[in-house]
Amino acid sequence: MFKQKRPMKMIQSILFPLLLLSVTACGQQSATPANNQSPAPASNNAPAPAADKQLTIGISQFVEHPALDAAREGFIAELAKKGYEQDKQVKIDVKSAQGSMDTAISIAQKFEADKVDLVLAIATPSAQAAAQTSKEIPVLFTAVTDPVEAGLVKAMEKPEGNVTGTSDMNPVEEQLKLIKELKADAKSVGIIYSSGEVNSKVQVDAAKAVADKLGLTIQEAAITSATEVKQAAESMVGKVDAYYIPTDNLVVSSIAAVLGVAESQKLPVIAGEENSVKSGAIATYGIDYSKLGAQTADMAVKILKGEAKPGDMAVEVQADMKLVLNKKAAEKMGVTIPQAMLDRAGEVVE
């Protein structure tokens, strides 16, 4: 009997480990997807397909005014046309810094913590905050005059890094020429701008560079907050023959203050973009911010689809410029718009 039991124990000692191995294998099989296919190896940089999750885009807008609002709405509308509808294929988180750089930085930090799929930064300060905070998340900017000077990209043609977008660099010389057409004897132009905005200083420098050959001199008034705009405009009364408002976010957000002074003194106001003309300036020759936003959305779609990387995408500018005139504003400022200007205008606000 003893000799018969010994072989049985040997068999059990062999079978028991095999049984454990079988049970373990069954447990591993239960973790395999239902389609019996092994999980694909994880990719370090491949974005999740849109069908698997809702993408998130964070929009940081430095301040609210018609031009920047138009860029934002143009961006969102074009995304929808390309199959990225808000609250469907994509969640869009819009935040305004209300003109505060500290708030712009906080917004950028939140988007970084939320790990959004893409950031759209509208205006230079918001773009700088996003670029400094996010080094991996794709960052697109719009309404930035000089992205190289602002430290956002290495070069317009090849930005490098994770940042690119669209520039709203306006044709300053062509805009200043409008002053001479409206008021041939104009000699001095007042420019109010924010000392904290790089894009504004770029435009002031551009105006100085061409003013001499146009027979104009430039009077500057730098501000640090929107509350100083009216005082800056009043300080130029008696010294200037016209005002030029660049695409400065703080000044444009308070353009009514400049218009009030200009109308009382019968001084024409030329603006850097068309929404300011619709708000009450007389004229501009420039870009359409809604179209600029849409152009930026086209770049975003390429990034979201994995067809391009920000660092390899050249910064784009808008070639489609148009003359926009406001007849009612001209009357308030005691100016008659020449028929030749009206004839070539792309849009006339009555």
What's the pLDDT tens digit per position in 154-168?
A: 999 999 999 999 999
**Buried-exposed string 332-341: b where 16+ CB fall within 10 A, e elsewhere:** bbebebeeeb
pLDDT at residue 36 above 90? no
| Range in 17-26, 121-130, 274-283, 312-321 the model is least confident about | 17-26
Radius of gyration of the CA atoms of the chain, in A = 30
Average pLDDT over residues 37-60: 58
Q: How confident is the model at residue 53 (pLDDT cuts 50, 70, 90)?
A: confident
pLDDT at residue 43 above 80? no
Average pLDDT over residues 312-341: 95
- The secondary structure of residue 197, as a DSSP letter, is -
User: With pLDDT > 70 as the criterion, what percentage of the chain qualifies?
Assistant: 85
| Sign, Cα dihedral of 97, 101, 103, 105 | positive
Measured CA to CA in angstroms, residue 63 lies from 185, 206, 336 at distances of 36, 24, 33
Measured CA to CA in angstroms, residue 318 lies from 6, 8, 168, 229, 306 at distances of 91, 87, 7, 29, 24
pLDDT at residue 14 above 80? no
What local confidence, expressed as pLDDT, does residue 241 receive? 98
| Mean pLDDT, the chain, integer | 88
Measured CA to CA in angstroms, residue 172 lies from 192, 235, 244, 255 at distances of 14, 23, 10, 18
Beta pairing partners, 222: 193
pLDDT at residue 85 above 50? yes
What local confidence, expressed as pLDDT, does residue 52 receive? 58
User: With pLDDT > 90 as the criterion, what percentage of the chain qualifies?
Assistant: 82
pLDDT at residue 187 above 60? yes
Average pLDDT over residues 270-276: 95
Average pLDDT over residues 201-223: 96
Q: How confident is the model at residue 320 (pLDDT cuts 50, 70, 90)?
A: confident
Write the single-letter amino acid at 43: S
What local confidence, expressed as pLDDT, does residue 3 receive? 37
16 or 150: which leads in pLDDT: 150
pLDDT at residue 205 above 50? yes
Structure tokens at 118: 């893409």
**Buried-exposed string 10-25: b where 16+ CB fall within 10 A, e elsewhere:** eeeeeeeeeeeeeeee
CB atoms within 10 A of CB 77: 15
**pLDDT tens by residue, 100-120:** 999 999 999 999 999 999 999
Residue among 48, 74, 95 at smallest CA distance from 304 = 48
Q: How confident is the model at residue 331 (pLDDT cuts 50, 70, 90)?
A: very high
